[in-house]
Structure 1
Amino acid sequence: MSEDYKKITIEGLWKNNPALVQVLGLCPLLAVSGSVVNAMALGLATTCVLTLSNLAVSLIRNATTDAIRLPTFVMIIAAFTTCIEFLMNAFTYELYLILGIFIPLIVTNCIVLGRADAFASKHSVPAATWDGLMMGLGFSLVLVLLGALRELIGTGALFANMHLLFGDTALHWKIQVISDYRGFLIAVLPPGAFMVLGLLLALKNIIDAKVEAAAKANKEKVVVGSKRVRTTGNIA
Protein backbone atom coordinates (compact mmCIF):
# COMPACT_ATOMS: atom_id res chain seq x y z
CA MET A 1 0.00 0.00 0.00
CA SER A 2 2.87 2.39 0.68
CA GLU A 3 3.96 2.04 -2.94
CA ASP A 4 0.44 2.89 -4.06
CA TYR A 5 0.42 6.11 -2.05
CA LYS A 6 3.87 6.98 -3.35
CA LYS A 7 2.63 6.53 -6.91
CA ILE A 8 -0.48 8.63 -6.20
CA THR A 9 1.74 11.39 -4.79
CA ILE A 10 4.10 11.43 -7.79
CA GLU A 11 1.20 11.29 -10.23
CA GLY A 12 -0.63 14.21 -8.62
CA LEU A 13 2.38 16.47 -8.10
CA TRP A 14 4.31 15.76 -11.29
CA LYS A 15 3.72 12.88 -13.72
CA ASN A 16 -0.04 13.42 -14.13
CA ASN A 17 -0.27 16.99 -12.84
CA PRO A 18 -3.76 18.28 -13.67
CA ALA A 19 -2.46 21.64 -14.90
CA LEU A 20 0.79 20.74 -16.67
CA VAL A 21 -0.04 17.27 -18.03
CA GLN A 22 -3.82 16.91 -18.21
CA VAL A 23 -4.13 20.66 -18.94
CA LEU A 24 -7.43 20.87 -17.05
CA GLY A 25 -8.94 23.81 -15.19
CA LEU A 26 -7.44 26.34 -17.60
CA CYS A 27 -10.21 28.90 -17.03
CA PRO A 28 -9.41 29.58 -13.34
CA LEU A 29 -5.73 28.81 -13.90
CA LEU A 30 -5.37 31.69 -16.35
CA ALA A 31 -8.02 34.05 -14.99
CA VAL A 32 -7.06 34.39 -11.30
CA SER A 33 -3.30 33.82 -11.41
CA GLY A 34 -2.42 37.51 -11.69
CA SER A 35 -1.13 37.51 -8.11
CA VAL A 36 0.01 35.04 -5.48
CA VAL A 37 -2.82 35.77 -3.06
CA ASN A 38 -5.55 35.17 -5.66
CA ALA A 39 -3.87 32.00 -6.92
CA MET A 40 -3.31 30.64 -3.42
CA ALA A 41 -6.89 31.31 -2.34
CA LEU A 42 -8.45 29.56 -5.31
CA GLY A 43 -5.89 26.74 -5.09
CA LEU A 44 -6.77 26.09 -1.44
CA ALA A 45 -10.50 26.22 -2.19
CA THR A 46 -10.12 23.78 -5.10
CA THR A 47 -7.95 21.43 -3.03
CA CYS A 48 -10.51 21.35 -0.21
CA VAL A 49 -13.38 20.60 -2.61
CA LEU A 50 -11.35 17.97 -4.47
CA THR A 51 -10.26 16.18 -1.30
CA LEU A 52 -13.65 16.20 0.38
CA SER A 53 -15.57 15.22 -2.75
CA ASN A 54 -13.20 12.31 -3.41
CA LEU A 55 -13.72 11.15 0.16
CA ALA A 56 -17.52 11.35 -0.13
CA VAL A 57 -17.64 9.70 -3.55
CA SER A 58 -15.49 6.81 -2.32
CA LEU A 59 -17.79 6.33 0.67
CA ILE A 60 -20.86 5.83 -1.55
CA ARG A 61 -19.10 4.13 -4.48
CA ASN A 62 -20.87 0.82 -3.88
CA ALA A 63 -24.29 2.38 -3.30
CA THR A 64 -24.73 4.29 -6.57
CA THR A 65 -25.84 2.84 -9.88
CA ASP A 66 -24.52 3.89 -13.27
CA ALA A 67 -27.74 5.78 -14.00
CA ILE A 68 -27.32 8.22 -11.10
CA ARG A 69 -23.55 8.13 -10.65
CA LEU A 70 -22.57 11.38 -12.39
CA PRO A 71 -25.54 13.46 -11.12
CA THR A 72 -24.72 12.27 -7.60
CA PHE A 73 -21.08 13.25 -7.99
CA VAL A 74 -22.05 16.71 -9.24
CA MET A 75 -24.39 17.21 -6.28
CA ILE A 76 -21.63 16.23 -3.85
CA ILE A 77 -19.15 18.60 -5.49
CA ALA A 78 -21.71 21.41 -5.55
CA ALA A 79 -22.45 20.92 -1.84
CA PHE A 80 -18.79 21.18 -0.83
CA THR A 81 -18.21 24.12 -3.18
CA THR A 82 -21.12 25.96 -1.58
CA CYS A 83 -19.65 25.34 1.87
CA ILE A 84 -16.27 26.73 0.79
CA GLU A 85 -17.99 29.70 -0.81
CA PHE A 86 -19.86 30.50 2.43
CA LEU A 87 -16.65 30.19 4.46
CA MET A 88 -14.78 32.56 2.16
CA ASN A 89 -17.71 34.97 2.22
CA ALA A 90 -17.59 34.96 6.02
CA PHE A 91 -13.84 35.09 6.67
CA THR A 92 -12.18 36.51 3.53
CA TYR A 93 -14.89 38.75 2.13
CA GLU A 94 -12.67 41.06 0.04
CA LEU A 95 -10.93 38.10 -1.55
CA TYR A 96 -14.30 36.47 -2.08
CA LEU A 97 -15.40 39.52 -4.07
CA ILE A 98 -12.17 39.54 -6.10
CA LEU A 99 -12.41 35.88 -7.08
CA GLY A 100 -16.11 36.28 -7.80
CA ILE A 101 -17.64 33.72 -10.15
CA PHE A 102 -14.54 31.49 -10.11
CA ILE A 103 -15.40 30.12 -6.66
CA PRO A 104 -18.80 28.61 -7.64
CA LEU A 105 -17.25 27.55 -10.96
CA ILE A 106 -15.20 24.97 -9.02
CA VAL A 107 -18.30 22.79 -9.50
CA THR A 108 -17.62 22.66 -13.24
CA ASN A 109 -13.86 22.21 -12.90
CA CYS A 110 -12.97 19.12 -14.94
CA ILE A 111 -10.29 18.13 -12.42
CA VAL A 112 -12.80 17.65 -9.60
CA LEU A 113 -15.41 15.66 -11.52
CA GLY A 114 -12.72 13.78 -13.44
CA ARG A 115 -10.99 12.48 -10.29
CA ALA A 116 -14.33 11.61 -8.69
CA ASP A 117 -15.32 9.46 -11.67
CA ALA A 118 -11.92 8.06 -12.67
CA PHE A 119 -10.39 7.38 -9.26
CA ALA A 120 -12.56 7.97 -6.18
CA SER A 121 -15.46 5.84 -7.44
CA LYS A 122 -13.09 2.85 -7.86
CA HIS A 123 -10.78 3.03 -4.83
CA SER A 124 -10.89 2.93 -1.04
CA VAL A 125 -11.57 6.00 1.08
CA PRO A 126 -7.94 6.59 2.20
CA ALA A 127 -6.56 6.23 -1.34
CA ALA A 128 -9.30 8.41 -2.84
CA THR A 129 -8.79 11.10 -0.20
CA TRP A 130 -5.02 11.09 -0.74
CA ASP A 131 -5.50 11.27 -4.51
CA GLY A 132 -7.78 14.29 -4.13
CA LEU A 133 -5.27 16.01 -1.86
CA MET A 134 -2.30 15.34 -4.17
CA MET A 135 -4.16 16.38 -7.32
CA GLY A 136 -5.36 19.52 -5.55
CA LEU A 137 -1.86 20.35 -4.33
CA GLY A 138 -0.42 19.72 -7.79
CA PHE A 139 -2.94 22.12 -9.30
CA SER A 140 -2.39 24.66 -6.51
CA LEU A 141 1.40 24.60 -6.86
CA VAL A 142 1.18 25.39 -10.56
CA LEU A 143 -1.43 28.06 -9.85
CA VAL A 144 0.73 29.74 -7.18
CA LEU A 145 3.89 29.49 -9.30
CA LEU A 146 2.05 31.04 -12.22
CA GLY A 147 0.73 33.79 -9.95
CA ALA A 148 4.18 34.47 -8.49
CA LEU A 149 5.83 34.74 -11.91
CA ARG A 150 3.12 37.01 -13.28
CA GLU A 151 3.11 39.19 -10.18
CA LEU A 152 6.90 39.48 -10.20
CA ILE A 153 7.17 40.25 -13.92
CA GLY A 154 4.16 42.53 -13.89
CA THR A 155 4.82 44.55 -10.73
CA GLY A 156 8.35 43.72 -9.58
CA ALA A 157 6.98 42.56 -6.20
CA LEU A 158 5.78 39.39 -4.49
CA PHE A 159 3.14 38.55 -1.87
CA ALA A 160 1.20 41.80 -2.16
CA ASN A 161 -2.18 41.93 -0.36
CA MET A 162 -1.60 38.65 1.44
CA HIS A 163 -3.59 40.06 4.37
CA LEU A 164 -6.72 39.40 2.32
CA LEU A 165 -6.16 35.70 2.95
CA PHE A 166 -4.16 35.54 6.19
CA GLY A 167 -5.40 38.63 8.02
CA ASP A 168 -3.47 41.46 9.66
CA THR A 169 -0.45 39.25 10.36
CA ALA A 170 0.33 39.36 6.63
CA LEU A 171 0.14 43.15 6.22
CA HIS A 172 3.90 43.42 5.81
CA TRP A 173 4.57 40.28 3.80
CA LYS A 174 5.00 42.16 0.54
CA ILE A 175 8.51 41.90 -0.92
CA GLN A 176 9.63 44.54 -3.41
CA VAL A 177 12.05 42.45 -5.45
CA ILE A 178 12.84 45.13 -8.04
CA SER A 179 12.90 48.73 -6.79
CA ASP A 180 11.63 51.56 -9.02
CA TYR A 181 10.05 48.99 -11.32
CA ARG A 182 7.77 50.54 -13.93
CA GLY A 183 5.76 47.38 -14.42
CA PHE A 184 5.10 45.09 -17.35
CA LEU A 185 1.34 45.24 -17.86
CA ILE A 186 0.98 42.31 -20.26
CA ALA A 187 2.19 39.90 -17.56
CA VAL A 188 -0.88 40.50 -15.40
CA LEU A 189 -3.28 40.45 -18.36
CA PRO A 190 -4.72 37.26 -19.95
CA PRO A 191 -2.08 37.12 -22.75
CA GLY A 192 0.62 37.09 -20.08
CA ALA A 193 -1.05 34.09 -18.42
CA PHE A 194 -0.90 32.11 -21.68
CA MET A 195 2.75 33.00 -22.24
CA VAL A 196 3.91 32.12 -18.73
CA LEU A 197 1.91 28.87 -18.72
CA GLY A 198 3.46 27.98 -22.07
CA LEU A 199 6.93 28.49 -20.58
CA LEU A 200 6.06 26.26 -17.61
CA LEU A 201 4.77 23.54 -19.93
CA ALA A 202 7.94 23.75 -22.01
CA LEU A 203 10.11 23.61 -18.88
CA LYS A 204 8.35 20.48 -17.63
CA ASN A 205 8.75 18.78 -21.00
CA ILE A 206 12.47 19.60 -21.02
CA ILE A 207 12.93 18.21 -17.50
CA ASP A 208 10.97 15.05 -18.35
CA ALA A 209 13.01 14.54 -21.53
CA LYS A 210 16.32 14.89 -19.64
CA VAL A 211 15.19 12.52 -16.88
CA GLU A 212 14.03 9.97 -19.45
CA ALA A 213 17.31 10.27 -21.38
CA ALA A 214 19.35 9.83 -18.18
CA ALA A 215 17.31 6.77 -17.18
CA LYS A 216 17.75 5.28 -20.64
CA ALA A 217 21.52 5.89 -20.54
CA ASN A 218 21.79 4.24 -17.12
CA LYS A 219 19.79 1.26 -18.35
CA GLU A 220 22.09 0.88 -21.37
CA LYS A 221 25.15 1.01 -19.09
CA VAL A 222 23.69 -1.75 -16.92
CA VAL A 223 22.98 -3.91 -19.99
CA VAL A 224 26.47 -3.37 -21.41
CA GLY A 225 28.03 -4.11 -18.01
CA SER A 226 26.09 -7.35 -17.63
CA LYS A 227 27.14 -8.44 -21.14
CA ARG A 228 30.79 -7.80 -20.30
CA VAL A 229 30.49 -9.85 -17.12
CA ARG A 230 28.95 -12.75 -19.06
CA THR A 231 31.64 -12.53 -21.75
CA THR A 232 34.42 -12.50 -19.16
CA GLY A 233 32.86 -15.47 -17.41
CA ASN A 234 32.64 -17.46 -20.64
CA ILE A 235 36.29 -16.73 -21.52
CA ALA A 236 37.40 -17.81 -18.07
Structure 2
Amino acid sequence: MNPDNASPHLSRLPDDLKDGLFMGHAISRCKSPNEFEGARTKFIDEILQNISKRFPATEFLSCFSVLAMRPISLLSMDDLSEWGNREIKILAEYYGHRQTRTYDNNTAVSEAILDPDKLMEEWSTCKKVVKAQLYPRVSMASLWQLIAEYHTDMFPNLQKLAVLALIHPIHTADCERAFSSQNRVTTKLRCRISGDHIGELMRVMIMGPKDLTDFNFKDAPKEFRKKKRGIFSV
Protein backbone atom coordinates (compact mmCIF):
# COMPACT_ATOMS: atom_id res chain seq x y z
CA MET A 1 0.00 0.00 0.00
CA ASN A 2 1.22 3.49 -0.85
CA PRO A 3 2.11 5.21 2.48
CA ASP A 4 0.83 8.50 1.09
CA ASN A 5 -2.64 7.00 0.71
CA ALA A 6 -2.70 5.21 4.08
CA SER A 7 -5.25 6.10 6.71
CA PRO A 8 -4.05 8.03 9.82
CA HIS A 9 -4.22 4.91 11.99
CA LEU A 10 -2.29 2.82 9.47
CA SER A 11 0.30 5.56 9.09
CA ARG A 12 0.94 5.51 12.86
CA LEU A 13 1.21 1.70 12.96
CA PRO A 14 5.05 1.56 12.66
CA ASP A 15 5.37 3.89 15.65
CA ASP A 16 2.65 2.14 17.67
CA LEU A 17 4.05 -1.36 17.03
CA LYS A 18 7.55 -1.68 18.47
CA ASP A 19 9.54 -4.28 20.41
CA GLY A 20 6.64 -6.71 20.68
CA LEU A 21 4.35 -3.99 22.08
CA PHE A 22 1.35 -2.29 20.54
CA MET A 23 0.83 1.13 22.13
CA GLY A 24 2.51 -0.18 25.28
CA HIS A 25 0.57 -3.47 25.43
CA ALA A 26 2.42 -6.77 25.15
CA ILE A 27 1.57 -8.91 22.11
CA SER A 28 1.69 -12.69 22.39
CA ARG A 29 0.81 -15.50 20.00
CA CYS A 30 -1.97 -17.89 21.04
CA LYS A 31 -0.95 -21.52 20.77
CA SER A 32 -4.46 -22.93 20.41
CA PRO A 33 -8.04 -21.85 19.65
CA ASN A 34 -8.96 -22.37 23.31
CA GLU A 35 -6.18 -20.02 24.42
CA PHE A 36 -7.36 -17.42 21.93
CA GLU A 37 -10.96 -17.77 23.12
CA GLY A 38 -9.84 -17.32 26.73
CA ALA A 39 -7.83 -14.19 25.86
CA ARG A 40 -10.74 -12.74 23.93
CA THR A 41 -13.18 -13.41 26.79
CA LYS A 42 -10.82 -11.79 29.29
CA PHE A 43 -10.39 -8.76 27.03
CA ILE A 44 -14.15 -8.28 26.65
CA ASP A 45 -14.74 -8.73 30.40
CA GLU A 46 -12.17 -6.05 31.20
CA ILE A 47 -13.80 -3.66 28.72
CA LEU A 48 -17.18 -4.23 30.39
CA GLN A 49 -15.66 -3.67 33.83
CA ASN A 50 -14.11 -0.39 32.71
CA ILE A 51 -17.42 0.77 31.24
CA SER A 52 -19.21 -0.11 34.49
CA LYS A 53 -16.64 1.88 36.49
CA ARG A 54 -16.96 4.93 34.26
CA PHE A 55 -20.76 4.80 34.03
CA PRO A 56 -22.07 3.25 37.27
CA ALA A 57 -25.71 2.20 37.34
CA THR A 58 -27.76 4.91 39.04
CA GLU A 59 -31.30 6.17 38.76
CA PHE A 60 -30.60 9.83 39.42
CA LEU A 61 -30.66 10.68 35.70
CA SER A 62 -34.20 9.35 35.34
CA CYS A 63 -35.19 11.38 38.41
CA PHE A 64 -34.71 14.58 36.43
CA SER A 65 -37.90 13.82 34.48
CA VAL A 66 -40.09 15.04 37.38
CA LEU A 67 -38.84 18.58 36.73
CA ALA A 68 -41.02 18.63 33.61
CA MET A 69 -44.07 18.39 35.94
CA ARG A 70 -46.22 17.00 33.13
CA PRO A 71 -49.04 15.35 35.15
CA ILE A 72 -49.55 17.88 37.95
CA SER A 73 -52.75 19.30 36.43
CA LEU A 74 -54.43 15.92 36.96
CA LEU A 75 -53.36 15.57 40.59
CA SER A 76 -55.35 16.48 43.67
CA MET A 77 -53.68 18.75 46.22
CA ASP A 78 -53.00 15.76 48.47
CA ASP A 79 -51.39 13.79 45.65
CA LEU A 80 -49.52 16.86 44.47
CA SER A 81 -47.84 17.31 47.85
CA GLU A 82 -46.29 13.82 47.57
CA TRP A 83 -45.67 13.66 43.84
CA GLY A 84 -42.01 13.72 42.81
CA ASN A 85 -40.67 13.92 46.36
CA ARG A 86 -38.78 10.63 46.13
CA GLU A 87 -36.98 11.66 42.93
CA ILE A 88 -36.08 15.11 44.26
CA LYS A 89 -34.71 13.53 47.45
CA ILE A 90 -32.44 11.30 45.37
CA LEU A 91 -31.17 14.33 43.46
CA ALA A 92 -30.75 16.28 46.70
CA GLU A 93 -28.72 13.44 48.20
CA TYR A 94 -26.43 13.34 45.19
CA TYR A 95 -25.94 17.04 44.45
CA GLY A 96 -26.39 18.31 48.01
CA HIS A 97 -23.38 16.50 49.44
CA ARG A 98 -19.70 16.25 48.63
CA GLN A 99 -19.01 13.46 46.13
CA THR A 100 -15.74 11.56 45.76
CA ARG A 101 -15.00 9.24 42.83
CA THR A 102 -11.89 7.13 42.20
CA TYR A 103 -11.00 5.75 38.78
CA ASP A 104 -7.64 4.37 37.67
CA ASN A 105 -6.02 5.60 40.91
CA ASN A 106 -7.25 9.14 40.20
CA THR A 107 -9.60 10.76 42.71
CA ALA A 108 -12.09 13.43 41.68
CA VAL A 109 -13.98 15.49 44.24
CA SER A 110 -17.20 17.42 43.55
CA GLU A 111 -18.45 19.86 46.15
CA ALA A 112 -22.15 20.20 46.97
CA ILE A 113 -23.90 22.63 44.64
CA LEU A 114 -27.22 23.04 46.45
CA ASP A 115 -28.89 22.99 49.87
CA PRO A 116 -30.90 19.74 50.27
CA ASP A 117 -33.36 21.10 52.85
CA LYS A 118 -34.09 24.29 50.93
CA LEU A 119 -34.42 22.26 47.74
CA MET A 120 -37.28 20.22 49.21
CA GLU A 121 -39.02 23.40 50.39
CA GLU A 122 -38.66 24.97 46.95
CA TRP A 123 -40.00 21.82 45.28
CA SER A 124 -43.12 21.80 47.45
CA THR A 125 -43.84 25.45 46.57
CA CYS A 126 -42.87 25.25 42.90
CA LYS A 127 -45.36 22.50 42.10
CA LYS A 128 -48.19 24.61 43.50
CA VAL A 129 -47.06 27.73 41.64
CA VAL A 130 -46.80 25.97 38.28
CA LYS A 131 -50.22 24.39 38.71
CA ALA A 132 -51.88 27.64 39.84
CA GLN A 133 -50.33 29.70 37.05
CA LEU A 134 -51.22 27.08 34.41
CA TYR A 135 -47.73 27.27 32.95
CA PRO A 136 -47.41 25.21 29.74
CA ARG A 137 -45.37 22.05 30.24
CA VAL A 138 -44.96 20.71 26.73
CA SER A 139 -41.27 21.58 26.91
CA MET A 140 -39.15 21.36 30.06
CA ALA A 141 -36.87 24.10 28.72
CA SER A 142 -39.77 26.47 28.09
CA LEU A 143 -41.26 25.76 31.52
CA TRP A 144 -38.05 26.55 33.36
CA GLN A 145 -37.48 29.61 31.23
CA LEU A 146 -40.78 30.95 32.57
CA ILE A 147 -39.88 30.01 36.14
CA ALA A 148 -36.47 31.68 35.82
CA GLU A 149 -38.09 34.81 34.38
CA TYR A 150 -40.88 35.28 36.93
CA HIS A 151 -39.71 33.37 40.03
CA THR A 152 -35.93 33.45 39.83
CA ASP A 153 -35.48 34.41 43.50
CA MET A 154 -37.94 31.83 44.79
CA PHE A 155 -36.30 28.68 43.45
CA PRO A 156 -32.49 29.08 43.21
CA ASN A 157 -31.73 25.45 44.09
CA LEU A 158 -34.36 24.04 41.77
CA GLN A 159 -33.03 26.14 38.92
CA LYS A 160 -29.62 24.54 39.37
CA LEU A 161 -31.24 21.12 38.98
CA ALA A 162 -33.15 22.34 35.93
CA VAL A 163 -29.90 23.46 34.28
CA LEU A 164 -28.36 20.05 34.97
CA ALA A 165 -31.45 18.31 33.58
CA LEU A 166 -31.25 20.30 30.35
CA ILE A 167 -27.55 19.61 29.75
CA HIS A 168 -27.39 15.98 30.89
CA PRO A 169 -27.51 13.34 28.10
CA ILE A 170 -30.57 11.62 29.57
CA HIS A 171 -31.50 9.94 26.27
CA THR A 172 -29.64 8.44 23.32
CA ALA A 173 -31.43 10.29 20.50
CA ASP A 174 -28.54 12.74 19.97
CA CYS A 175 -25.99 9.91 19.89
CA GLU A 176 -28.07 7.92 17.40
CA ARG A 177 -28.50 11.03 15.25
CA ALA A 178 -24.74 11.57 15.27
CA PHE A 179 -24.04 7.96 14.24
CA SER A 180 -26.54 8.28 11.39
CA SER A 181 -24.77 11.44 10.20
CA GLN A 182 -21.40 9.71 10.46
CA ASN A 183 -22.63 6.80 8.35
CA ARG A 184 -23.75 9.24 5.65
CA VAL A 185 -20.36 10.95 5.70
CA THR A 186 -18.05 7.91 5.80
CA THR A 187 -19.12 5.93 2.77
CA LYS A 188 -17.09 3.12 1.20
CA LEU A 189 -15.50 5.66 -1.16
CA ARG A 190 -14.58 8.01 1.70
CA CYS A 191 -13.24 5.53 4.26
CA ARG A 192 -9.85 7.21 4.65
CA ILE A 193 -11.09 10.57 5.91
CA SER A 194 -9.35 11.59 9.12
CA GLY A 195 -11.26 11.85 12.37
CA ASP A 196 -10.95 15.65 12.47
CA HIS A 197 -12.29 15.96 8.92
CA ILE A 198 -15.21 13.65 9.75
CA GLY A 199 -16.02 15.81 12.77
CA GLU A 200 -16.07 18.96 10.65
CA LEU A 201 -18.32 17.39 8.02
CA MET A 202 -20.69 16.07 10.69
CA ARG A 203 -20.97 19.51 12.28
CA VAL A 204 -21.88 20.97 8.90
CA MET A 205 -24.45 18.23 8.33
CA ILE A 206 -26.04 18.47 11.79
CA MET A 207 -25.71 22.17 12.58
CA GLY A 208 -25.58 23.67 9.12
CA PRO A 209 -28.48 25.38 7.35
CA LYS A 210 -31.29 23.10 6.21
CA ASP A 211 -32.54 25.48 3.55
CA LEU A 212 -29.88 26.28 0.94
CA THR A 213 -32.06 28.43 -1.31
CA ASP A 214 -30.42 31.61 0.03
CA PHE A 215 -26.88 30.20 0.14
CA ASN A 216 -24.44 32.18 -1.99
CA PHE A 217 -22.62 29.47 -3.91
CA LYS A 218 -20.67 31.99 -6.01
CA ASP A 219 -18.96 33.58 -3.00
CA ALA A 220 -18.26 30.26 -1.27
CA PRO A 221 -15.15 29.42 -3.41
CA LYS A 222 -13.79 32.94 -2.77
CA GLU A 223 -14.07 32.43 0.96
CA PHE A 224 -12.54 28.97 0.65
CA ARG A 225 -9.52 30.38 -1.22
CA LYS A 226 -8.78 32.63 1.76
CA LYS A 227 -8.22 29.61 3.99
CA LYS A 228 -4.63 28.55 4.60
CA ARG A 229 -5.30 25.00 3.40
CA GLY A 230 -7.26 25.95 0.30
CA ILE A 231 -6.75 23.59 -2.63
CA PHE A 232 -7.62 26.09 -5.34
CA SER A 233 -4.87 27.99 -7.07
CA VAL A 234 -5.27 31.75 -6.81
Q: Provide the TM-score with structure 1 as the length reference.
A: 0.26
Pick the structure with greater CA Rg. Answer: 2
Q: Please identify which structure carries the higher helix content.
A: 1
Q: Provide the TM-score with structure 2 as the length reference.
A: 0.26
Greater RCO, 1 or 2 (C-alpha within 8 Å, sep 6+): 1
